[in-house]
Amino acid sequence: MQIYKTQTPIASKRYWFLAFLVMLLVTIGVMILLQSIGLFLIPPLFNIPLDEMLGLFTAPSQNPKAKLALFFVQGLGSGIAFFISALIIAKFIDRADFGWKQQRARFKFTGLLTLLFIMLGGILFNALIIDWNAGIQLPKGLERIETFMRDAEDQRMLMTKFLTDFDTVIEFIVGLVVIGLLAGIGEEVFFRGVLQPKIQHYTGNAHVAVWLTAFIFSAIHIQFFGLFPRMVLGAIFGYLYLYSGSLLYPIIAHILNNSLTITLVYLGKLGVIEFDIEKTDQVPWAYALFGLILLVISLKYFKEVHHYTIQHEKLEEGL
């Protein structure tokens, strides 16, 4: 039972296209504004010359402050931008109420423990999807498209490896804050907190809302050969919100997932463990199957636990 209460005309089914168009324009506008501010502040904050600044976004740089500068812009233009966009859309356009007090009340210690099993199962099972998606080959006749997409993703991987090749503990902590904390909060408030309830309202189907939101969430990352595992992950976040009515669960799950990846990369560089972010076959089939079973059972238990809480709320409202 999601919470996003609004009665404004633009939020009605009749104006669904206008609502999504406004949502898109607001989000793009906020991202452009915050990224521009970030770019403007790079030279004075990080002492990087203007002629070198734009090159940071196209290829790895030898400048010792390059990673921190890129994280700064990414934090503003992604995580914070999604969060601010969600607040603008909710408060000034939809005039909606997130019901944060009620959402906090629905957050349970039992649910948090179950969340850990859900994420463990999801990560193990999703490793199989990652490997399958990375190996997809398009039909004959689409070789040029496939080559273009793979080249684009290889370029993005170069930047990802550059950003996550932490040279200092400070860079690692900044990576956790930007990729883990800010992305987890901003993207969940935007996608699960605003977009998912709106799609459910327009379609009348909660499962369609979860999966369509998950698809959009994955598609904006522009990685075809990572589309499906990220969509599965987004669907898990969506069901956490749908079944509990508390955004705190998907926010925590998102932060844990991103932070775990960053930590594994860092520990791999330190030589503590063996981990390669480019490898897709790091989990055996048996573990992936166990992950799927654990995911399904844990989600079912999670749903049942919060069903009683929500039913109790309805009874109290009826009184």
Structure tokens at 118: 């859900």
pLDDT for res 315: 43
Instruction: Report how far residue 267's alpha carbon sits from residue 259's, in angstroms, rounded to the nearest whole number.
Output: 12
Instruction: Report how far residue 111's alpha carbon sits from residue 313's, in angstroms, rounded to the nearest whole number.
Output: 17
What are the DSSP calls for 243-307, one per residue?
HHS-THHHHHHHHHHHHHHHHHHHHHHHTSS---TT-S--S-HHHHHHHHHHHHHHHHHHHHHHH
Structure tokens at 82: 């999604």
What are the DSSP calls for 115-131, one per residue?
HHHHHHHHHHHHHHHHH
Among 21-30, 159-168, 208-217, the least confident range: 159-168
Instruction: Report how far residue 319's alpha carbon sits from residue 305's, in angstroms, rounded to the nearest whole number.
Output: 22
Q: What is the length of the chain?
A: 319
Domain boundaries, the chain: 99-318
Instruction: Report how far residue 160's alpha carbon sits from residue 179's, in angstroms, rounded to the nearest whole number.
Output: 11
Instruction: Give tens-digit pLDDT for 269-303.
Output: 888 888 777 676 678 889 999 999 999 999 999 99
Among 43-47, 210-214, 310-314, the least confident range: 310-314
Instruction: Give tens-digit pLDDT for 5-36.
Output: 776 776 777 888 988 999 999 999 999 999 99
